């Protein structure tokens, strides 16, 4: 921990500096790259020309005021965007150099490699805790040669939930608290062993205690996978991410204003609009 | 020391009243009368059937629902000899309704899934209209169509089923008579219950929470995988309720079954075999030429049908309500 930073006027930068590590220090995971991504809902142009690299094994936070297109953007990264009937997109999203929008791509395979955690915890209420974690294997009809119990324990441990639920894996998931449910959802997405995990405001429906536990989980997970997280909470971005991208919709479609190492984004952003936002002058 | 109890002044609770306007009172009274009238009519019908049929119940005792003889004969001395038992009609009704459900419910559920999750918007709208139209189609038309068009086909299917599956007891027949069988009546009925089961299922499937659907997709589920993991568990009780509403209709369906079924007072478990029983159709068949006593027995039969239908519909309503409320 670098305690010197605490005296700085911009404490977010201090937190971020403490968190920041050199890219490349995490060898695992898989890179994701967005190239010139546009998104539309019907005739509404929601996102314009976003190009962003997510290096393997890094955590990237997407910040920006509501309606700036950051959630839309993250949903283009695993093709969840196209569920909205009038939705359209342009550009490319490359996973390990391959365009996930290429014709003939099996979307379900893409989503197995790029998992997603949603804003509202959404476990399957008709399934038990254990069944929820392993639901992905069943849904995608993956024949895992791994021992189910081991996998269950591993996923729940990585999601930081094992200790709390190990004695009631057969209980229904609806009985868990909101924070536990969200960690269960994280465990569920880990079971299919994704290379990338997208998190769309995973803590916005949770209390501060649960939020901290999830952030712990994110830090642990970032050792083995690439993580992209949308957040409204700038402290959170500072605490968990290596890189931060700032999105803004200035009357027109949402755009990415700036991206950089998180500590730099919070201490000396290049763009004035970023400066205004991270210093709390608007948004 | 005084043992003074601290008394807190608790004010008296006030009675909260409002004085409604006369127009309000009148309106409310009208609504009351209207809404209770349907209940009243239902009770009146039930009461009438029970009252008029009472004689038949009394004369035949339990035999009325456990025996299968139905005869009203004038013997040599000019005395009327009556035996009324409707066991064959009750079992027949249940058998035909079951066949209708077994055929109709899967078709309805698959149709509802297609309409909710697969059909393009245009096709969906057209199909929903068609299915709703099916519900309002007069049942005599189903009956005529069943008799003229479906009957020869169903006879052929029945022969095929018999040929390959006759080792299953209820698919066997004593002799090769496949016309006007419970099987045919069941098919006709299944077509008639498809609209109601489909529309209830569609309603429930459409309420599946989006976040659960997305969760399944985000885990790499195929559409069918998503439906199995999320939609079917969510909609199961609704489908059951819809099926029971369909059953309610199937139990009471008269004209369509009358047109295609050979009604005989003998319990027939061989569903492919050419005769069967059905309460409602039997009443229609007999009523015109019935003697005074037989009419009473027919009214008693009507009461049995009334109770059966009422029970099924009540259970169905409860199940559907629970499905809608729980939102699971």
Q: What is the pLDDT of residues B216-266, one digit of tens each?
A: 999 988 889 899 889 998 998 889 888 988 888 888 888 888 888 988 888
| Averaged confidence pLDDT in chain B | 88
Residues in chain B within 8 Å Cβ distance of A80 = 214, 217-218
What ranges make up the beta strands (E) of chain A?
Answer: 32-41, 44-54, 59-63, 87-95, 98-99, 114-117, 196-200, 226-230, 243-248, 255-261
Interface check A80 vs B, CB under 8 A = yes
Cβ-defined contacts of A159-162 (< 8 Å, 24+): A159/A183, A159/A184, A159/A186, A159/A187, A159/A190, A159/A217, A160/A213, A160/A214, A160/A216, A160/A217, A160/A220, A161/A187
Share of chain A above pLDDT 90, in %: 52
Contact B217 A188 (CB under 8 A): no
| Cβ-based contacts of B217 with chain A (< 8 Å) | 80, 83, 111
Instruction: Say if residue A21's pLDDT is above 90.
Output: no
State the nearest Cα–Cα gap between B324 and chain A, in angstroms: 16
pLDDT band at A17; cut points 50, 70, 90: low
Return mean pLDDT, chain A.
85
Q: Span B28-34, mean pLDDT?
A: 94
pLDDT of residue A2 exceeding 50: no
- The stretches of chain B forming alpha helices (DSSP H) are 22-60, 63-66, 87-113, 121-136, 139-145, 151-165, 182-206, 210-218, 223-226, 232-252, 255-260, 279-287, 292-326
Which two structure tokens, joined as six digits, stand for A217? 């989980």
Supply the pLDDT for residue A5: 41
User: Chain B within 8 Å of A192 (Cβ-Cβ)?
Assistant: yes
Backbone angles phi, psi at A209, to 5 degrees: -60, -50
- DSSP H/E element including A275: helix A272-278
Count of CB pairs separated by less than 8 Å, A with B: 73
Q: Which residue of chain B is at minimal alpha-carbon distance from A188?
A: B219
pLDDT for A94: 93
Tens of pLDDT, residues A180-238: 999 999 999 999 889 999 999 999 888 888 888 889 889 989 888 999 999 988 889 99
Joined together, the tokens standing for residue A16 give 């971020």
Of the listed ranges A246-260, B58-72, B173-187, the one predicted with least confidence: B58-72
Q: What is the ipTM of this complex?
A: 0.82
pLDDT at A4 > cutoff 60: no
Residue A172 scores a pLDDT above 50: yes
Task: Give percent of chain A with pLDDT exceeding 70.
Answer: 89
Q: Ramachandran region of residue B74, left (φ > 0), alpha (ψ -120 to 50) or beta? A: beta
- Domains of chain B and any CATH numbers: 22-83 (no CATH), 87-285+299-327 (1.10.3720.10)
The whole-number pLDDT of residue A25 equals 43
pLDDT for the residue numbered B5: 63
Identify the pLDDT of residue B328.
Answer: 47
Most confident of A196-200, A266-270, B69-73, B320-324: A196-200
**How does residue A117 score in pLDDT terms, banded at 50, 70 and 90?**
very high
Confidence of residue B3 (pLDDT cuts 50, 70, 90): low
Higher confidence at residue A281 or residue A167?
Answer: A167
pLDDT computed for residue B7 by the predictor: 73
Judge whether A247 and A63 are in contact, CB under 8 Å. yes
Strands A44-54 and A98-99, how do they pair? unpaired
pLDDT of A54-66, one tens digit each? 988 899 999 999 8
Selected for mutation to probe chain A from B117, B220, B226, B227 (highest A CB count within 10 Å) is: B220
Check whether B212 has a pLDDT greater than 70. Answer: yes
Q: How far is CA A110 from the centre of its chain?
A: 16
Number of C-alpha atoms within 13 angstroms, CB side, residue A212?
2
Superfamily of domain A9-121+199-278: P-loop containing nucleotide triphosphate hydrolases (3.40.50.300)
Residues A69-98 have pLDDT tens digits of 999 999 999 999 988 888 999 999 999 888
Provide the token pair at A172.
């229904």
Residue of B117, B209, B215 to mutate, interface with A, max A Cβ within 10 Å:
B215
Q: Can you give the residue ranges of every domain in chain A?
A: 9-121+199-278
């Amino acid at each position: 921990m670098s305690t010197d930073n605490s005296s700085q006027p911009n404490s977010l930068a201090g937190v971020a500096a403490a968190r920041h590590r050199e890219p490349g220090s995490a060898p695992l995971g898989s890179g994701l790259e967005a190239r010139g991504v546009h998104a539309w809902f019907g005739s509404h142009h929601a996102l314009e020309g976003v190009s962003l690299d997510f290096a393997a094994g890094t955590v990237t936070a997407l910040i920006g005021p509501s309606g700036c297109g950051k959630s839309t953007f993250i949903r283009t990264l695993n093709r969840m965007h196209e569920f909205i009937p009038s939705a359209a997109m342009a550009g490319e999203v490359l996973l390990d150099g391959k365009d996930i929008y290429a014709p003939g791509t099996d979307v379900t395979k893409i989503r197995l490699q790029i998992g997603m955690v949603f804003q509202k915890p959404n476990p399957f209420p008709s399934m038990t805790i254990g069944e929820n974690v392993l639901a992905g294997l069943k849904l995608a009809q993956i024949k895992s040669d791994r021992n189910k119990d081991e996998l269950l324990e591993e996923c729940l441990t990585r999601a930081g939930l094992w200790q709390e639920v190990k004695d009631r894996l057969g209980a229904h998931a609806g009985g868990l608290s909101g924070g536990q449910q969200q960690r269960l959802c994280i465990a569920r997405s880990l079971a299919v062993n994704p290379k990338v995990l997208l998190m769309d405001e995973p803590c916005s429906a949770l209390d501060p205690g649960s939020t901290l536990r999830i952030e712990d989980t994110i830090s642990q997970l970032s050792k083995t996978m690439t993580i992209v997280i949308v957040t409204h909470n700038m402290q959170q971005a500072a605490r968990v991410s290596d890189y931060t991208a700032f999105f803004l919709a200035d009357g027109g479609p949402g755009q990415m204003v700036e991206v950089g190492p998180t500590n730099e984004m919070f201490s000396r952003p290049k763009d004035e609009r970023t400066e205004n936002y991270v210093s709390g002058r608007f948004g | 020391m005084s043992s003074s109890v601290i008394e807190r002044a608790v004010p008296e609770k006030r009675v909260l009243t409002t004085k409604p306007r006369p127009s309000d009172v009148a309106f409310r009274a009208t609504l009351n009368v209207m809404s209770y009238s349907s209940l009243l009519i239902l009770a009146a019908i039930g009461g009438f059937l029970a009252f008029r049929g009472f004689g038949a119940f009394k004369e035949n005792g339990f035999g009325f629902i456990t025996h299968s003889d139905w005869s009203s004969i004038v013997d040599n001395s000019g005395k009327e000899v009556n035996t009324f038992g409707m066991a064959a009609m009750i079992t027949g009704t249940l058998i035909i309704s079951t066949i209708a459900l077994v055929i109709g419910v899967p078709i309805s559920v698959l149709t509802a899934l297609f309409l909710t999750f697969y059909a393009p918007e245009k096709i969906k709208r057209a199909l929903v209209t068609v299915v709703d139209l099916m519900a309002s189609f007069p049942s005599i038309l189903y009956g005529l169509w069943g008799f003229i068009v479906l009957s020869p086909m169903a006879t052929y299917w029945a022969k095929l089923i018999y040929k390959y599956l006759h080792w299953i007891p209820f698919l066997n027949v004593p002799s090769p008579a496949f016309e006007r069988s419970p099987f045919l009546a069941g098919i006709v009925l299944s077509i008639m219950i498809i609209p109601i089961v489909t529309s209830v299922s569609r309603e429930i499937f459409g309420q599946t929470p989006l976040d659960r659907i997305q969760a399944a997709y985000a885990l790499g589920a195929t559409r069918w995988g998503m439906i199995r993991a999320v939609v079917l568990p969510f909609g199961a009780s609704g489908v059951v309720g819809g099926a029971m509403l369909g059953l309610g209709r199937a139990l009471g369906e008269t004209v369509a079954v009358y047109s295609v079924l050979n009604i005989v007072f003998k319990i027939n478990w061989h569903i492919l075999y050419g005769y069967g029983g059905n309460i409602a159709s039997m009443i229609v068949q007999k009523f015109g030429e019935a003697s005074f006593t037989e009419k009473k027995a027919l009214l008693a039969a009507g009461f049995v049908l009334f109770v059966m239908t009422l029970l099924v519909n009540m259970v169905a309503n409860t199940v559907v309500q629970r499905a809608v409320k729980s939102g699971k």
